[in-house]
Chains A and B, each alone.
Chain A
């Protein structure tokens, strides 16, 4: 075992903590419900009433608080340290946004309130819509989708509705091989067959390839820009023209918008529809897997198809429901308003200059890591990158060490690993996105740790293969978990 330089977060006071159900003691409770003073009802027929008791835990408030506090300490988070997940944009989440979202004037709004009592909230929503229009050069925005993939589904349904209204319904959609899995999955849900588009040898889509695949059944192209290889799609404006000439539309996956703010407007390149991940680019917290928000921006041609309701910019602001060409809705109410509000606070504070600066620094940080790591690792595409860079384990595989081992060993150095084994077109990928909110010190510490891990791969490969050793748990048996799924506590057996 080598000595690990302590960086951060790995030496905590780690408590053990059982499951809620193992802590439960009959007769305890952590809540006294309100009582109104009216007599308790006895009108419901006996045969409708629950007989089997729910086996929910019985715990007092201090026990519940301690339970979750201890669990929280087993998590790595942005607040703990650098979280370089490629394509996830794990940037710092400003705390003020949490305070603002918790204001009664926002948190206690019922979605069915009369519209005149929601004016402040509608202003917040209109502000975010306008900001997203400004950043993309697109014409209109809906805030309804709850996450990126939800936005993809909606965006594709908009394309479908638009082409149907042109009298030109189509059945296929082009998706680059490097795309997120959500792209082909969304395409299926929107009734399209996803056709894979290969990139050229340098990882960039080529005009001729797209042109060859475009026919009268191809609805268009879904493209992530910059792509998931961290590369700028330099042919995109020509590709958009080719797609348009063949009657297609271009869908932009905005997962990587953090590289473009104030630098390039996707609408100017010819994109017709685009979704945003407010929980990436606009700094709203990921919450251990959500909630996010996936607004969608469109060109003027697609606007009539947007979901209802849309905000009508009068004074006062109103909600417009009567939109005969609308695709309907993809969820209840108005979207993840609380997330939209947090994004509004980020955009307001950063302003045009701040957002542009963020994208520029995200690109600089990624390129700095690319160069610092290029001796210890193979860089999949050595040219300058945008906001993320991909390494592989090719130099380490000679020692029997793989990407997964490098990722797990990084934990011993106090860092979250990069995105691994994605995109699929780069075998054994490690995809690093540092974001703009990391300091040079932190970038250097991370690069030093990775370089040290690369050195260990040659000198003591077994340390990597059995890593991590410092978190409270070692490597987990995912094969056993999948073979014998245990997805809920079994109250009837002692576990």
Chain B
């Protein structure tokens, strides 16, 4: 056993012997026997396969990869929290540099300036995107970022307001994550369903807001792709003494639209995957988290700050760590330790390559493509639009047959046609959520439309669940 050779483990037989000599032992078993009680030792053999070579490994995983159908082999109209935008090649080349890829959290700043400066730049760019004062160095994903935002709002108001309102069409996974996080916590969640037009009901919201409410969370563009009326919602929330948390699932929207910060949000969280991170079946993606300067001390997660070295040269360090678990332990602002550093780096590189104009163009083209689909679908016999409010790049369409059937029947023709809404509790069977980004060409969208058209009229669209 001790002679098993792995290409990642350099020790040779004679070297092992030399080390054992230094320890005054004759075998590795003797060493382990000194530490591990006999009764604790695993006596069987692990029900796992034997070692294989790299070519065998590559062969096996390529075989498994071929069992999948991926979004480059079909035309994908899937969005709903994960978006297929163009990704510059330079990103993977840069993040695959071992110095970024295989570094740990930058606890020793003198030899981690690369990661630290990149994170400071990242924090700055997230602030610019969201119109906020400070951003952390990332959290896991958009859903967990939202859950953390609710508990941050609760802390900001000193724990005196126990209720958080999730208003309107918030991504179901995000909502479910908040529910799970609040199972044991001090926050009780109130769910305010969207009104008929797919957006937050202002009347219902003002009825719900009270002195017990610490925050209102609103997703905009919301899960149906619609823009919420933040200029109206924001003062309403603030007048009640609560904080406004805005959730963004594709930050490209912020390049086109007034930023959540400009509209008065107190905390902005989001999913950063759309900005240069591969879909990768849903992870690793990136949680974005930004707030106002005055709430800085309640922010969860790592922060990088600018400082100077002993010679007065500019440098960067992890800072304000007293908020974090390794110092404040049970009273920390969160338990988060490992975040999504490399994904944050991908987003930084993406934003530096695109710049303000590139980002705006991607957003505009995505929206224009979605608008093209919207107009065409509204003219398709048997199809209809479920909502008509201003939107970004996703829309819910009413289908003449169950949406799940649309998806199933279009798959062999090379389409991921969208997401049937009845996948979620309360979702309606004849509604399909579709998304368009800039990577879809006109011809591709036309082929999607003509394939959709074949569903016409062979069923009466059901209205309502």
Contact = CB atoms under 8 A, between A and B. Distances in A.
Given A263-B36, A287-B100, A330 B144 contact: yes
Contact of A188 (B64, B129, B331, B362): B331
A51 B262 CA distance: 10
A65 B90 contact: yes
B205 to A, nearest CB: 19
Contacts of B338: 147-149, 277, 279, 286, 289-292
A143 B179 CA distance: 19
A411 to B, nearest CB: 6
Chief secondary structure at chain A's binding surface:
loop
> Could you say which of A124, A335, A347, A367 has the most chain B C-beta atoms within 10 Å of its C-beta?
A367
A181 B52 contact: no
Interface stretch (B238-246, B277-285, B379-387): B277-285
A161 B339 CA distance: 26
Given A53-B356, A91-B8, A184-B329, A35 B365 contact: yes
A451 to B, nearest CB: 14
Given A49-B256, A341-B61, A481-B305, 14 more contacts: A50-B259, A65-B94, A73-B114, A91-B8, A109-B70, A153-B335, A184-B330, A185-B328, A188-B332, A307-B180, A364-B11, A416-B104, A473-B110, A478-B319
Contacts of B195: none
Given A113-B69, A357-B4, A473-B309, A289 B106 contact: yes
Contacts of B335: 149-150, 152-153, 182, 185-186, 188-189
A94 to B, nearest CB: 6
B184 A290 contact: no
Contacts of B465: none
Given A481-B319, A487-B303, A79 B102 contact: yes
A157 B103 CA distance: 31
Contacts, number: 716
B68 A109 contact: yes
Contacts of B88: 30-31, 61
Given A186-B335, A264-B42, A72 B442 contact: no
A2 interface: no
A31 B353 contact: yes
Contact of B365 (A40, A47, A336, A356): A40
Contacts of B39: 237
Contacts of B144: 146, 150, 330-331
Interface string A379-418: 0000111100000000000000000000110010000110
Interface string A240-275: 000000000000000000000011110011000000
A64 B8 contact: no
B32 A363 contact: yes
A352 interface: yes
A371 B144 CA distance: 44
B184 A160 contact: yes
B143 A474 contact: no
14 contacts: A41-B364, A76-B99, A76-B103, A105-B68, A191-B184, A288-B119, A344-B61, A353-B4, A360-B28, A411-B110, A442-B10, A473-B313, A475-B310, A480-B307
A200 interface: no
Interface stretch (A96-104, A209-217, A295-303, A454-462): A96-104
A298 B246 CA distance: 35
Interface in A164-217: 180-182, 184-194
Contact of B340 (A37, A98, A146, A468): A146
Given A56-B354, A345-B61, A408 B110 contact: yes
A332 B9 contact: no
Interface in A72-89: 72-80, 83, 85, 88
Interface in B102-154: 102-115, 117-121, 123-125, 127-129, 131, 133-135, 137-138, 140-144, 151
Per CB-CB distance, the 3 closest pairs between chain A and chain B, nearest first, are A333-B282, A105-B65, A191-B184
A118 B338 CA distance: 28
Nearest to A385: B35
Contacts of A288: 100, 103-106, 112, 114-115, 118-119, 341-342, 345
A69 B309 CA distance: 22
Interface stretch (B15-23, B157-165, B208-216, B451-459): B15-23
A489 B110 CA distance: 20
Given A74-B114, A75-B115, A146 B58 contact: no
A41 B171 CA distance: 26
A1 interface: no
A468 B326 CA distance: 25
A54 interface: yes
> Could you say which of A90, A358, A361 has the most chain B C-beta atoms within 10 Å of its C-beta?
A361
Contacts of B355: 28-31, 56-59
Nearest to B367: A41
A466 interface: yes
A48 interface: yes
B334 interface: yes
B450 interface: no
A368 interface: yes
B71 interface: yes
B150 to A, nearest CB: 12
B187 to A, nearest CB: 11
Contact of A189 (B19, B61, B181): B181
B441 A36 contact: yes
Contact of A440 (B15, B121, B123, B133): B15
B192 interface: no
> Could you say which of A38, A90, A181 has the most chain B C-beta atoms within 10 Å of its C-beta?
A38
B337 interface: yes
A339 B313 CA distance: 37
Given A75-B115, A291-B341, A353 B50 contact: yes
A120 B66 CA distance: 7
B37 interface: yes
A83 B93 CA distance: 23
A465 B260 CA distance: 47
A471 interface: yes
Nearest to A145: B140
B305 A21 contact: no
A488 B134 contact: yes
B36 A77 contact: no
A98 B101 contact: yes
> Could you say which of B36, B119, B314 has the most chain A C-beta atoms within 10 Å of its C-beta?
B36
B438 to A, nearest CB: 5
B306 A486 contact: yes
B190 interface: no
Contacts of B119: 288
A44 B390 contact: yes
Nearest to B142: A332
Interface string A337-354: 111010011011111111
Contacts of A283: 8
Interface in A122-144: 123-124, 131, 134-135, 137
A349 B356 CA distance: 44
A38 B99 contact: no
A24 to B, nearest CB: 8
A377 interface: no
B69 A117 contact: yes
Contacts of B462: none
A278 B174 CA distance: 24
Contacts of B311: 473-474
Contact of A107 (B67, B95, B280, B327): B280
Interface string B371-383: 1100000000000
B419 A112 contact: yes
Given A181-B326, A182-B337, A436-B9, A488 B104 contact: no
B92 interface: yes
Given A49-B256, A264-B40, A350-B51, A357 B6 contact: yes
